[in-house]
Structures are given as C-alpha cells and as structure tokens.
Amino acid sequence: MPFGGSTSSLGDTGDTVEFSQIPPPFAAEIKQRLAQTEAEHNVKILYACESGSRAWGFASPDSDYDVRFIYARPADWYLSFDVERRRDVIEHPIVDEIDCNGWDIRKALYLFTRTNGALFEWLNSPICYIEVGDFAGALRALANVTANRVALCYHYSHMARSNAASFLYRDQVRLKKYFYVLRPLLAIRHLEQGFGVPPVEFVRLVEKTAPRPLVPLIDELLALKIQSPELGVGKPVPELNKFIEHEFERHSDEYYGLGRPDLVDKSEVLERLNEIFRKAVCEAPGDAKFFRSLSL
C-alpha cells in the first residue's frame, strides 16, 4: 500500500520546503520553541511538522499553528526499569497562536503498529520543520508495506462522524466543520479505490476522489473558508449535506466502533521498528538542521 502525499524534509535529502503558509515571525518563534524544548527536556527532536488545517490547506486567517514533533531521550533513559511508567509526551500550554506538543519515539512507534492516522499525517505533512537522519524516512518506507487500510478507515470514519454530529442539521453552520467532515470522507474513498494512504492536502483528495458535480461547490466553500475567521459561519449547502449523509449510509457500520487491527503479531515489522528505534536513539545527539530553506 503506497504511502500517499508529498514528502518535505529539512534533513540531508536535499528536498525543499514550502513555507508560504508560515509567516517569518511565526517560523522564527516555532524554531525557537523547538530548540528550547530540546534544551529544557534533554531530548533530541527527530521530526517536527505542521499538523491540522495549515497542513490540510484550509487554514483561516486566524488559525492556530499546530506544531507536532517526535523526540528521543538519551539511551540511559530507556534502560530504566520503570520506563513504561514514565511520561511519554511533551505538552506546552497554549498561550498564543502556537500549539506545540510531541510524542516520545516509543509511543510513536507503538502507534505506528496501530496504523495511527494522526501519526501517518504527521510523517507526510507538506510543512516540515525538522527532520533528523532517516528516522521519518524509514517509517514512511515501512508504511508502504504495512499500512492497514481498515485501521485508517476506522480513523477517518470516527473523525467524520464526530464532526458531523455537531453541525449537519442547523440553520447556520461553522464553515470549517464542512472540511472536517468532507476531508475524512474523501480519505476513505481514496482508500476504498485502492490509491493507498490518503494525501494530507485537501485539494489533492478533492481532485482524486470527490464526485465531479460537487467540486465547484467545494472550491467555492474553500475560497470562503480561507477568507473567513476561524469561527466563521454560513448557510448549509444541501448538495454537500446530501453527499455526507449518503457516505454515512453507504459505510453503515463497516467502519464504526472498535476493532482497529494492529501489527503487533508481525515479527518482521516489530524487528524493523526496533532497528529504527535503536538507530534513532544512538544518533539522537546529532545536530538537527532547522529551517534550511527559510531565510529568517
């Protein structure tokens, strides 16, 4: 199953990164906070990216910056007898427009075995702040052959249903909710049609999987969303509501509830993840290359 979407890197691959959505003052502040996180917590950030609406491509003018990262601690930390009980996330209080938090590498690798949709989107974000060594690249390569279609469909179905429940049948709707429902529904269609792991960018999903009659309506709504405040509201779009209801009916209970399959019984996958883990921890003290293509 191919790992969809574009790959941006600030590591040693020579790729460039598109920062058109990240104004220089915010880019500089994000860089500073990631470096401060490393210093304060004695960790090495292996990978950091933008998540949420800015990565998806439908941010409002006042949308937050959702910075997500994966980090490794010194090797001795993982040799502690109580490592399973130690905190495996770093979360910073939200005090302004920047929401910044991350997962320890062990947590990230376990979630990889569950084909965790959020992790897959992080790895495939079009806006990458840090990429050290080949950690993220190795996970992308492994995802090519291990990504579980059913698990991803569960993830996207839950996302679509939980967002739809709060807005579908109202006289005025929050515009962003349409995209929080349409995007996962189109991602499911992408998987069902055999295209592999869905791309992060919403416009790519629309181009590949949206019914043609709906594309002009989606484009018009997208243009309005990008120009509206985060809490902007508008009238429901009957054609889109009908499509959403049809997709839910078509899925029925197929992707609803529990039962997400994982990879813990596949020894070859676990051994490869162990190799990735050991290599990343051993190389963690190396220097990250921050914002190589950005002039601050």
Q: Which residues contact 55 (CB under 8 A, 6 or more apart)?
A: 49, 66, 121, 125, 126, 127, 200, 201
Q: Which of 186, 165, 193 is nearest to 177 (CA)?
A: 165
**9 assigned to some structural domain:** no
170/122 same-domain check: no
**244 assigned to some structural domain:** yes
123/29 same-domain check: yes
Average pLDDT across the chain, whole number? 84
φ, ψ for residue 124, nearest 5 deg: -110, 15
pLDDT of 13 > 90? The answer is no
Using one digit for the tens of pLDDT, what is the confidence trace for 171-220?
Answer: 788 878 899 999 999 999 999 999 988 999 999 999 999 999 999 999 99
173/103 same-domain check: no
**121 assigned to some structural domain:** yes
At residue 294 the predicted structure's pLDDT band, cuts being 50, 70 and 90, is very low
Identify whether the C-beta of residue 234 lies closer than 8 Å to the C-beta of residue 177: no
227/175 same-domain check: yes
Number of residues written out for the chain: 296
Range of the domain at 234: 149-251
**3 assigned to some structural domain:** no
At residue 266 the predicted structure's pLDDT band, cuts being 50, 70 and 90, is confident
Q: What is the pLDDT of residue 59?
A: 85
**277 assigned to some structural domain:** yes
3-class DSSP assignment, residue 75: helix
Distance of alpha carbon 255 from alpha carbon 99, whole angstroms: 30
Q: Which residues contact 10 (CB under 8 A, 6 or more apart)?
A: 17, 128, 129, 130, 131, 288, 289, 290, 291, 292, 293
Q: CATH number for the domain including 50?
A: 3.30.460.10
**17 assigned to some structural domain:** no
Q: What is the pLDDT of residue 273?
A: 95
Give the count of domains, the chain: 2
Distances (CA, A) of 202 to 9, 57, 223, 247, 250: 20, 6, 13, 17, 22
Using one digit for the tens of pLDDT, what is the confidence trace for 237-265?
Answer: 899 999 999 999 999 888 866 556 666 56
Whose tokens are 């990458």? That residue is 128
Using one digit for the tens of pLDDT, what is the confidence trace for 39-53?
Answer: 999 999 999 999 989
Using one digit for the tens of pLDDT, what is the confidence trace for 24-33?
Answer: 899 999 999 9
Using one digit for the tens of pLDDT, what is the confidence trace for 63-115?
Answer: 899 999 999 999 999 999 999 999 999 999 988 999 999 999 999 999 999 88
73/209 same-domain check: no
**246 assigned to some structural domain:** yes
**Dihedral of alpha carbons 137, 69, 150, 268, sign:** positive
